[in-house]
Structure 1
């Protein structure tokens, strides 16, 4: 139901008992998305007709290929192209409240699996089935289901981008599952995945700085989060601290270096754990949290997203909390899958 409240209109999603605010003449989809609601849809411009909605009362205007149209009670319209000019009541059949996801299993086409530079990390690109858009947000992960039924979890490396799913997978030849996974990716045409999972997504914390802290392939998740921050036009100062054992293990360093040239508020700080004798390196050497403290000193106005081993994540967050970081402004999937006892 849409009711006037000063200059704001309220929509109640009848089937989900959820509601959100929308300003008069504001696009329904834009208002819903901004407030964390997600419509199960296949496009953004009224082509797929997945978001067909019934008007119960009032008046709604919506856009079609023939121009602006007016919906009257009993008529259907496409939610993604609509706005309201006054009190109205609509029935939304396919809406998800903030934090609500439908986990799906699907067979994805294997588009490519290529080594990145001189590392042992493969960039894997999958395509979901035609007409089956993956429903997730930047920062979430999926599980690959191997032919033997076992599962491996991998962060999705790209923000939502049509049917494309990008993964960064380190090959570990001494592990049977890793060998089977690589064989499937190189020889098979499709692979089963289950998604979305995880809650380490961009948060509205109100801090001036946001630190994206990654070790090894933890960069995968940070890549997606940063892409989303860029897309949203974040005005925070954004810092990527990416740690690896050796410089060559920073398998996609050219990408954050490119971002640093494109975005004035983005800063890339690589950190290596050790160097070979005679190896040249001008950056930080040692622990990630030591490099961060050396560069910034305090973290009382910071948000931290961390991805890596549980030991790394807890070491970084415990240390930074001692330097002012609020425990309400630190986010990692580690807290869910490897909680402290």
Structure 2
């Protein structure tokens, strides 16, 4: 039997990962941060079924070699050579087609003076595939969809949201009222291209303003689950200390996860000019010491913040293709 590390390429996503001799394909994909749908580890559910396009693989249940063109279960297959597989259930970043779901409202609770944590449960959870960092829409009758980042990992059973709402913010407050009053809500997901379909191959810098932290939480949970070991930093900017609604969580990540660094950036309470705080956040990021030629940046916040940050980092040497934000898609300039 051939030994050593092999490469597997998943089509049509174009995602590749290393396969060590002791690992089945499902384990190897998970180590690379590629979420292959599965609900068992012995080939019974058949959700991780793929078709072998090229190479040689071994069925670990019957020790038979799998031929090109045959189907296989990734949870009970090992790579004998480099492989190319076809699996429609795995999509590249931003390519998951949105679907509509009825979600049960499991919990709604205030976690700060103006932010609510929402937990939704989906009866058809096995049908849902999304990438860390994507977002959903809450669709209420007779109103436009309201969009919120998913704060939970793609591997979590429940879907978590962080919704900032006050009576002055009519649309968000209407959503919170509906979630509190009704047992179910209609959601459409996933949306967004600024996400992680696989673990990055370089250090990662998160820059978030306000509830942009929700998108970061999804990606951090995902990276911790996949044991990502490259340097990761979070710069979280808010107007006032009380706006940093889950600061203790970010501090816990820093204590418990060796690659992670958390830098809170809090504005001057006496000067609530938001554009000024954006400049303060950008200045802090520029002083981070990252090699801008070798880092991937994920930014979550208002268009003003995101474009101010992008211009500064590209000017400092960051390749524009390494800067990612949903703002670039929904608010192009």
TM-score over 0.5 for the alignment? yes
1:49 maps onto 2:46 in alignment: yes
Residue 208 of structure 2 corresponds to which residue in structure 1?
214
Equivalent-residue separation in structure 2 for 1:81 and 1:114 (angstroms):
42
Change (3 A) 1:84 1:149: same
Change (3 A) 1:59 1:306: closer
- Aligned pairs (5 A) from 1:46-85: 46-52=43-49, 60-63=58-61, 70=64, 78-83=73-78
Change (3 A) 1:71 1:251: same
Equivalent-residue separation in structure 2 for 1:188 and 1:233 (angstroms):
38
How big is the shift at 1:51?
A: 3.5
Contact 1:62 1:70 in 2 (8 A): yes
Structure 1 gaps of 5+ residues are 278-283
1:110 maps onto 2:105 in alignment: yes
Residue 192 of structure 2 corresponds to which residue in structure 1?
198
1:29 maps onto 2:26 in alignment: yes
How big is the shift at 1:34?
A: 6.6
Residue 157 of structure 1 corresponds to which residue in structure 2?
151
Q: Which sits farther off after the overlay, 169-178 or 54-63?
A: 54-63
> Which string of whole-angstrom CA distances, capped at 9 and with x for unpartnered residues, describes residues 248-284 of structure 1?
000000001111111232111111122259xxxxxx9
How big is the shift at 1:331?
A: 0.9
Residue 316 of structure 1 corresponds to which residue in structure 2?
309
Equivalent-residue separation in structure 1 for 2:97 and 2:32 (angstroms):
18
How big is the shift at 1:146?
A: 1.3
How big is the shift at 1:108?
A: 0.8
Alignment equivalent of 1:327, drawn from 320, 324, 328: 320
Change (3 A) 1:194 1:44: farther
Residue 281 of structure 1 corresponds to which residue in structure 2?
none
When normalised by structure 1's length, the TM-score is 0.78
1:98 maps onto 2:92 in alignment: yes
Q: Which sits farther off after the overlay, 71-80 or 305-314?
A: 71-80
Please give the secondary structure, in 2, of the residue aligned with 1:296: coil
Contact 2:66 2:72 in 1 (8 A): no
| Richer in strand (by share) | 1
Please give the secondary structure, in 1, of the residue aligned with 2:101: strand
Please give the secondary structure, in 2, of the residue aligned with 1:132: helix
How big is the shift at 1:334?
A: 0.7
Please give the secondary structure, in 2, of the residue aligned with 1:50: coil
Please give the secondary structure, in 2, of the residue aligned with 1:123: strand
How big is the shift at 1:214?
A: 0.4
Please give the secondary structure, in 2, of the residue aligned with 1:321: helix
Contact 2:8 2:84 in 1 (8 A): no
> Which string of whole-angstrom CA distances, capped at 9 and with x for unpartnered residues, describes residues 186-219 of structure 1?
0111111111111112476654x42210000001
Contact 1:272 1:285 in 2 (8 A): no
> Which string of whole-angstrom CA distances, capped at 9 and with x for unpartnered residues, describes residues 274-318 of structure 1?
2259xxxxxx99620112234438734432210000000011121
Change (3 A) 1:227 1:19: closer
Change (3 A) 1:276 1:195: same
Larger Rg: 1
Contact 1:240 1:269 in 2 (8 A): yes
Q: Which sits farther off after the overlay, 264-273 or 329-338?
A: 264-273
Higher relative contact order (CA 8 A, sep 6+): 2
Equivalent-residue separation in structure 2 for 1:10 and 1:161 (angstroms):
22
